[in-house]
Structure 1
Amino acid sequence: MPGPRPRADAQRNRRNLLAAAESAFNAQGAGASLDDIARAAGVGNATLYRHFPTRQQLIDAVYEERIGALCVLAEQVRATEPAGAALVGWLRAVVDHISGSRGLRDAFADAHHLGETPQLAEWHRMTDEAAVPLLRDAQAAGAAHPDLRADELMALVAAVAHAGGGDPAGVRRLLGFVLDGVAPRP
């Protein structure tokens, strides 16, 4: 039998904490004030620490939420968009996530001392797996090279996001060049 469901106010407090933390980490990095995060979320420090006993747990939870949202988005665009467009739309969202959350990424890296953690490896696996059906659909539709692998595509997309220097227009431009190369030539 499943355990008791969290109360609605506890769920709301957690959502508010995650949103406030993401904003603070993106703006100020890993050293963002936890007191300010709690205040921005409209809760007290005790509530923050009840949900996230350590700074690292808060950073991890924010990052995990972002990864989970990308995986859900992959399913949504696959269900609603044509094959090639679904892949392109999702890859744009991935690039936006990577390039738009440098502070969060830096905070995550600081919390893990720049090392590859099992959790980080799991998140890479999750995004690679989310890309697989989108890529297969695009390949079946002739919109992507038939021999391209999802992990290769994700490595290219990550490189584009990092190379763009945080400039959304520049990142989108670079992604366009990569996607032109992903499409098979006649």
Structure 2
Amino acid sequence: MAFLSETRFTPKFYGLLPDPTDPRNLLIAMEMIGSGMTLRKKIEENTPTERQKLSISLRLSIGLHTIHDKNVLLNDQKDDNVIVYSLNGTVFQAKFIDFGHASCGFEKRYGGNATTNARCTHLAPEVRAGEPTKASSDVYSLGFVMALFRIDKLANIVSQCMGHEPGQRPCLPIVVRNLMDLM
């Protein structure tokens, strides 16, 4: 988190504190996004307009590209691992949260029941099949998140991002450019 704080696409990391109930444990001190809520909740409320959904998609794509530039894979993008908030009531910002599966400088393999677990549908098919994560698997998960907006304008981008073959998925600069064209 400290490594990604400067990206502006994750909560700011302030440091570690001893747990007052057990000093052997440490607690993470990070930015509180007080007016924010998970993207899942925001979608359930059905409050963002199409333009706001496109803006969130663009922000997440730029953020993921910035994070990948730091050689970090998130490996667990989904609608409840994104916080959205508004600075002025109309323009939504978005930040990635929950870095428990993130990896820096290496790939990750999911074990166990990732292939059959219904909660893992946001993971790329090759990851669910036991292959290591890659930038293209994060692109798949980004497409999964954008698909939840159910916007016809995003259908082509979502389809490309969620392509079955990892090598056929677009790189993030292309996703960003295509989203900017839609805006």
Higher relative strand content: 2
TM over 0.5: no
TM range (shorter): 0.3 to 0.5
The TM-score, its normalising length taken from structure 2, stands at: 0.39
Question: Highest Rg: 1 or 2?
Answer: 1
The TM-score, its normalising length taken from structure 1, stands at: 0.39
Higher relative helix content: 1
